[in-house]
Structure 1
């Protein structure tokens, strides 16, 4: 292989998604079952080269630094408030690095904390002879807690548009909500990250004297409610 010496001790120059790296051939081939080993081991598949002669990988160049850390010493050390665990997991899977996939999963379950999930909703009833039909109707799922923790758990499904302090991760907020309205999806994401439900509460939100907004069904308005669920990871 160009750029390396016999015995696997040479230096390999890489262009990973536009970011330049250099690593020893021994590092790149340290995981025998990985895609990197298949590419760079003697007699391997190889990869194309860019105009400067560097081996080109069409992957996330910024996240590749953590892939190299794992290849070098078998560990994972992510910075505080790291927000891209899901993307890093996908990169690890693409490189067929199961050990790194396992470390990412372990790291995501390591930070303790509390997240509160709340929603305002109602039970909408069927009409035109279908009075026994009803389904849950949610307007928005709200999440409260430490910003960095909620970003780790909910990832790209988290909507931060109502929050004025986007840059500060080590703080608490009650202004985040989810981009979807599937309560069970939010619960599944919390359970997958090691959270447990420790408490819940609910109450009605509509009184008989409440003035209805135009287009609001009277019967449906009677069944308006607000619920909160508290999840904890120790």
Structure 2
């Protein structure tokens, strides 16, 4: 452990296995914080084998902590999914301003509605077996205001079938997701503060006719379409 002696102007850090280099001025920019107490010698700190100051915290999220220490603000990326974890880190470091900044960003998110729909079936066993093997989704559709959809789904949003790129203020029903995991889509919506407002479904096709060549008859009986409406107030 450090004996609380003088710290260098440029400080090498090991935060949970992730290396950072910053200034002592940044680390001591928030007088009421744990980092201020550590890097003014009031609290002990360990060093690793490379003589870097070691803190056993989340190394990846520390980049946002460091951003806040540098200029007193933090800008989180679109579709950032770890606000609660970052808030916990901020609380551990006793960075009350960062805690408030995270809470304020959450409060200031615009309200809106996003509809998620999918057409799917169930995959069955071979040779007439009726055991359901797994849920089969063809595509997850996304409808709503363009900039809102982008802020929630980020790089997982496929806009290739939408002809009017770049107009973020409009609404569209032509987006779909690059993956077919319905629960992943729901998780992303919930993490952005959306709640399920309602849902509807077509039910299964039952005695559907005009089956395309090569389509499994039993599987076709279970074709269905569902929609889910998510609301952020």
User: Pairwise mapping of residues 209-220 of structure 1 onto structure 2 (< 5 A)?
Assistant: 209-212=209-212, 214-220=213-219
Deviation readout 1:151-195 (Å, 9 max, x if unpaired): 333345x22342455544444333332333222332233234332
Query: Which residue of the partner structure matches residue 102 of structure 2?
Result: 104
- More moved, 87-96 vs 23-32: 87-96
Gap runs ≥5 in structure 2: 1-6, 13-18, 53-58
Residue 187 in structure 1 maps to residue 189 in structure 2: no
* Aligned-partner Cα distance in 2 for 1:97–1:164: 47
CA RMSD, 1 decimal: 4.5
Query: Which residue of the partner structure matches residue 80 of structure 2?
Result: 85
User: Pairwise mapping of residues 110-121 of structure 1 onto structure 2 (< 5 A)?
Assistant: 110-121=109-120
* Aligned-partner Cα distance in 1 for 2:84–2:169: 23
- TM-score (norm: length of structure 1): 0.61
Query: Which residue of the partner structure matches residue 54 of structure 1?
Result: none
- More moved, 164-173 vs 18-27: 18-27
Contact 1:19–1:61 (8 Å) recurs in 2: no
Contact 2:28–2:39 (8 Å) recurs in 1: no
In the comparison of the two structures, how many residue pairs are matched?
Answer: 206
Query: Which residue of the partner structure matches residue 68 of structure 2?
Result: 67
**Structure 1 residue 145: Cα displacement:** 1.5
Query: Which residue of the partner structure matches residue 130 of structure 1?
Result: 129
Q: Relative to structure 1, is the Cα distance of residues 63 and 30 closer, same or farther in structure 2, using a 3 angstrom cutoff?
A: same
- More moved, 218-227 vs 123-132: 123-132
Gap runs ≥5 in structure 1: 4-11, 49-57
Q: Relative to structure 1, is the Cα distance of residues 25 and 202 closer, same or farther in structure 2, using a 3 angstrom cutoff?
A: closer
**Structure 1 residue 27: Cα displacement:** 1.3
Contact 2:64–2:74 (8 Å) recurs in 1: no
* Aligned-partner Cα distance in 2 for 1:143–1:88: 24
Q: Relative to structure 1, is the Cα distance of residues 190 and 102 closer, same or farther in structure 2, using a 3 angstrom cutoff?
A: farther
- TM-score (norm: length of structure 2): 0.61
